[in-house]
Amino acid sequence: MAYPIINAILVKNEVAFCAAEAHGMATGLLCANSTIDSGYWLSELLPDASFMPDEQKLLLVNLFEETRRLLAGEDFEFDLFLPDDDMPFIEQITALKSWCQGFLFGVGSTTTEANYSRDAHEILKDITEFTKLDTDAEDANEDDEMAFMELTEYLRTAVLLLRDELSPKTDH
């Protein structure tokens, strides 16, 4: 699923979220409740999706369901839905911040922190800090790009750890 396609759908339908934030929200919702319906996510993105063409809704639902599949998989295939590496670095950083904001919204809208472990609190604290990343830098150097890769890898792992802790276990 291509980031620019999903982002264009959201922009065309005047959704307040970019594709990264929408995916972060979907991921957070699914980490907190692996059985949540894609309709709930769509209603959070677009309170009145009735005007959205069915083929666009289907693409969004497919993104949600693919995220569910990758999160549930044991092959560590899950990845953040961000612009490609050939996009300007500032857009990648901005999207990562947005992804983190969406993730926190998704987790927060379906769970309460009362029963989180210390590790879960630390991970959520880290993700909250990532929403404050500096997006004023024009050009990235090699160190910045390496730090960005390490950050996305940390988030991939952290999301899977949170999924294991927060989501009710279901028999498959």
Structure confidence by residue, pLDDT tens digits, 136-152: 766 667 888 888 999 99
* Greater pLDDT, 44 or 66: 66
Question: What's the rounded Cα separation, in Å, for the pair 82 and 90?
Answer: 12
Q: Say how many CA atoms lie within 13 Å of 42 toward its Cβ.
A: 21
Contact 7, 18 (CB under 8 A): yes
Q: 107-164, pLDDT tens digit by residue? A: 987 766 667 788 888 999 999 999 998 777 666 678 888 889 999 999 999 999 998 8
Q: What percentage of the chain has pLDDT greater than the value 90?
A: 52
How far are the Cα atoms of 1, 7, 9, 16, 129 from residue 49, in angstroms, in the given order?
20, 16, 12, 13, 32
pLDDT at 6: 94
Among residues 24, 64, 12, the alpha carbon closest in space to that of 42 is found at 64
Nearest to 104 by CA among 86, 91, 123: 123
Domains of the chain with CATH codes: 3-166 (1.20.120.740)
Range list of H helices, the chain: 3-12, 19-32, 38-45, 54-72, 89-108, 118-130, 142-166
pLDDT by residue (tens digit) across 5-21?
Answer: 999 999 998 888 899 99
Structure tokens at 105: 């919204």
**Measured between alpha carbons, how far apart are the two ends of the chain, in Å?**
26
pTM of the model: 0.90
